[in-house]
Chain A
Amino acid sequence: MTPHAELPVPEVTYKGANRRYRRIFIPVMTFYVVFCFVGPLLMMLYEGAPPIWLMATVGVISGVPIAVVFWLIGRYLRETDEFTRQIQLDALLPAAGITLSLAVIWGFLELYLVVPRAKIFSPMIMVGPAFFFFYSMTFTAQRILRGESLKDVPHIGTRER
């Protein structure tokens, strides 16, 4: 007999948390990627400079999916099991620290005119991707430093068989 019959399963489980994460993450990220192309195309429909309301709308809509992902990560951390929460927080917090520190350093370098103020592609757009890049690095580093497997790890949103 499996243990299922002997104990009521908690309301939100590790698998449930992953399922709920994927259910929103996949459509939101699909929208994000598509809108990164559709947004500029919408603005190109105008001859000359597009109206400010359109540029502001496209700008905000482009960034909202990233905010949704941060909210999703927070909900996931509340819902998942304590071991997964611990190893994810061990990676997420240093990643946030590294990203914000680099952003502040970059800001001061801009202020003191050491680096040019970017005109075409703002470094601010890179803060989100940089955070997720550093998160993957800190997550991997934590596992290596602890001598633990990189394969047998509970990842956010994973589909466990």
Chain B
Amino acid sequence: MKNRLRDLRAAKGWSQGDLADALGVSRQSINALETGKFDPSLPLAFRIARLFSKRIEDIFDDGLGAMKRAAE
């Protein structure tokens, strides 16, 4: 699943380690999320969204959201 995690983290000036500590996960988890190798569970997706004060669909894109917007 595509996501904007790397951009959002960079905009805040945080390292992967900073973000990992804030979410209580490993730094490797953040790397796997940012590279799209791992999709978060719903609770983790909510924690990420709340951390950046955004909605889940503003950060994660399963492809259907973009298709829906294009259709509109």
Contacts and interface: CB of A to CB of B under 8 A. Distances in A.
A-B complex is real = yes
Interface of A: 2-4, 6-7, 9-10, 12-16, 80-84, 86, 148, 152-154, 160
Nearest to B38: A83
Chain B, interface SS category: helix
Interface residues of B, number: 25
Contacts, number: 72
A86 B21 contact: no
20 contacts: A2-B14, A2-B21, A3-B12, A3-B14, A4-B22, A6-B51, A7-B47, A10-B23, A14-B20, A14-B26, A16-B24, A81-B29, A82-B25, A82-B44, A83-B25, A83-B26, A83-B33, A148-B37, A154-B28, A160-B26
A15 B21 contact: yes
Interface of B: 12, 14, 18-29, 31-33, 37-38, 40-41, 44, 47, 50-51
Contacts of A15: 21, 24
A16 B40 CA distance: 20
Contacts of B24: 9-10, 12-16, 81
